[in-house]
C-alpha cells in the first residue's frame, strides 16, 4: 500500500448511521469512499469528511444495481488504493401493515437492504480474495432476529442478510481465508430515515425506544472493523430482543402486538403528500441526526455475541451444579 492510508468504503454514507460511520473512519485516519444515490448528499458529506485531512471519494450509486456497485469498487481502488474495510449500511424501508404493502414495495426494500449488501459484499470479496485480506462489516439490526409489526419488509431483509452472512462466514472458514466478516446488530437510532421512509400510517413514525445517536452505532461499527468479532449486539434492547426471542418467541409475538403499533408512532399526523426515498433520493435531508436528539442516548452497552453464549452456558452450568448439590444434600 506504500504511503497510502487505509481505505474504507461506506455504502449509504451520506446520512444517519452511514454518514456518522464515514466520519468516524475519516477521523481515525482512513481514506474514505462513500456510495449513495443523491449528488447533494454526496457533496455535503465529502466536504465534511475532507475537513479530517484524508482523501475522500463520493460516488453516485444505487446499491441495488450490482453493475453500479462493481464499477464503484473499481473506481475506489483506482483512485484511493486497495480496499481494507467495506461497510454495508445502505437501506430503505416501508412502514405499513402487510395488507397495505405491494409486491413492488417488497421487492424494492429487498433489492436495497438485502441485495444491496450482497452486491457490496461480492464487490469487496472480488478484490480482497486475491490479496487474502480485508474486512467486511454488515450493518444488521435487532430486527434481524426479532421481527416487529409494521416493518415486515425491513425485518425480512435484515434476517436475510444475517442468513447470507452466516453462510459466507462458514465458507471463508472452510477456505482458511484471512478475510474477516463481522455483523453489528443495531437498536433504534436517531437518523433522518424516519423523515424519508414511505409511511402508510396515519401518524409520523419514530424508532422503537430506547433511541441512540448515530455516533453510538458508528463507534460499534468501527470497533467491529478493528476486532472482527462474529457479531456485536449494540444496546440493551437489542440484547433483550435477541435473547427474548430465543427463549419466549410466542410471548413476544403477543407483547409486540399490543405495544409496537403505538411505540412506532408519534402524536403528530403524517403528511400524505410528503416525498419518500424508496425509488429516488430525498434532497435537503442528508444529515447525520434525525429529529429525536432530545431523547437519544450517547452511549450503549456493546456485547460480542459469542460472549453472550459463554455467559449463558456458564449460568446454565452453575444452575446444574446447584441442583446437583441440592440433590446430594437431600440423599
Q: Are 84 and 134 in contact (CB under 8 A)?
A: yes
CA angle 28, 30, 35 (to 5 degrees): 120
- Burial grade of 264 (CB within 10 A; 0-12, 13-18, 19 or more): buried
**Preceding amide of 36 cis, omega within 30:** no
The position carrying cell 444529515 is 287
Which of 154, 212, 277, 279 is catalytic? The answer is: 154
The three three-digit cell numbers of residue 122, written as one number: 461480492
Residue 17 and residue 294: Cα distance in Å, rounded?
17
Quick one: which of 11, 59, 15 has its CA closest to 39? 59
Reply yes or no on whether 154 is catalytic: yes
Q: Could you tell me which residues are beta bridge partners of residue 56?
A: 32
Q: Residue holding cell 469528511?
A: 49
User: What is the side-by-side strand order in the sheet with 180-186?
Assistant: 56-60, 31-36, 7-11, 85-88, 135-141, 180-186, 231-234, 302-304
Phi, psi of 184, rounded to the nearest 5 degrees:
-115, 120
CA torsion through residues 61, 104, 114, 232, sign:
positive
**Residues paired with residue 32 on neighbouring β-strands, in sequence order:** 8, 56
Q: Annotated active-site positions, please?
A: 154
Amino acid at each position: 500500500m506504500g504511503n497510502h492510508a487505509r481505505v474504507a468504503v461506506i455504502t449509504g454514507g451520506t446520512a444517519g448511521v452511514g454518514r456518522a460511520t464515514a466520519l468516524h473512519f475519516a477521523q481515525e485516519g482512513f481514506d474514505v469512499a462513500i456510495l449513495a444515490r443523491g449528488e447533494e448528499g454526496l457533496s455535503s458529506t465529502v466536504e465534511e469528511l475532507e475537513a479530517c485531512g484524508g482523501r475522500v471519494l463520493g460516488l453516485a450509486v444505487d446499491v441495488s444495481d450490482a453493475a453500479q456497485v462493481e464499477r464503484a469498487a473499481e473506481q475506489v481502488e483506482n483512485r484511493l488504493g486497495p480496499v481494507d474495510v467495506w461497510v454495508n449500511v445502505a437501506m430503505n424501508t416501508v412502514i405499513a401493515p402487510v395488507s397495505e404493502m405491494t409486491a413492488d414495495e417488497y421487492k424494492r426494500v429487498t433489492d436495497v437492504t438485502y441485495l444491496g449488501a450482497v452486491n457490496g459484499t461480492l464487490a469487496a470479496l472480488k478484490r480482497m480474495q486475491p490479496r487474502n485480506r480485508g474486512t467486511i462489516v454488515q450493518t444488521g439490526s435487532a430486527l434481524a432476529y426479532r421481527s416487529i409489526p409494521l416493518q415486515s419488509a425491513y425485518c425480512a431483509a435484515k434476517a436475510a442478510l444475517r442468513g447470507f452472512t452466516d453462510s459466507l462466514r462458514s465458507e471463508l472458514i472452510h477456505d482458511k481465508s484471512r478475510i474477516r466478516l463481522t455483523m453489528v446488530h443495531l437498536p433504534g437510532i436517531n437518523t433522518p430515515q424516519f423523515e424519508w421512509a414511505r409511511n402508510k400510517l396515519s401518524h409520523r413514525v419514530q424508532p422503537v425506544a430506547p433511541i441512540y445517536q448515530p455516533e453510538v452505532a458508528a463507534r460499534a461499527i468501527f470497533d467491529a472493523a478493528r476486532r472482527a468479532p462474529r457479531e456485536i449486539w449494540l444496546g440493551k434492547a437489542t440484547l433483550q430482543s435477541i435473547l427474548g426471542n430465543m427463549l419466549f418467541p410466542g410471548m413476544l409475538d403477543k407483547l409486540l402486538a399490543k405495544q409496537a403499533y403505538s411505540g412506532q408512532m408519534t402524536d403528530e399526523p403524517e403528511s400524505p403528500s410528503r416525498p419518500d426515498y424508496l425509488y429516488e433520493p430525498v434532497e435537503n435531508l442528508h444529515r447525520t441526526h434525525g429529529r429525536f436528539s432530545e431523547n437519544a442516548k450517547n452511549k450503549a452497552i456493546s456485547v460480542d455475541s459469542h460472549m453472550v453464549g459463554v455467559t449463558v452456558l456458564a449460568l446454565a452450568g452453575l444452575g446444574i451444579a446447584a441442583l446437583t448439590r441440592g440433590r446430594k444434600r437431600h440423599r
